[in-house]
Amino acid sequence: MNWIILCVAGLFEVAFAFSLGKVKETSGATMYFWLACFLVSATISFGLLVKAIQTLPIGTAYAVWTGIGAVGTVIAGIIFFKDPATFWRFFFIGTLIGSIVGLKAVSSH
């Protein structure tokens, strides 16, 4: 169950990074909306991470959390912010996903 909580925490990390991207692009009331989304997403993400590390090894949990966030943020950047979609970006996203799966596979929990 804590692996699921950790994955959801990683998705909220993507949400807060996405919100930061929207804060950068907007102004006025819209910017404050995205700033509020950032704060809510970050709070939920960190709260779920804290819950997950109660039974998972901190090193593994943190690496998986940041890995999910990194992969999701790169994909969100490509889809929503017109970041470049090159072979090497996808290659290294693939190696990162492989590392996340590997950490899960060797974890004793």
Q: pLDDT (tens digit, 9 = 90+) per residue, 28-68?
A: 999 999 999 999 999 999 999 999 999 999 999 999 999 99
| Residue entry with tokens 């950032």 | 38
* CA-to-CA dists, residue 83 to 21, 38, 45, angstroms: 11, 20, 24
Q: Give pLDDT, residue 109.
A: 56
pTM equals: 0.89
Domain boundaries, the chain: 2-106
* CA-to-CA dists, residue 108 to 56, 69, 103, 105, angstroms: 9, 23, 10, 8
| Residue entry with tokens 């804590």 | 2
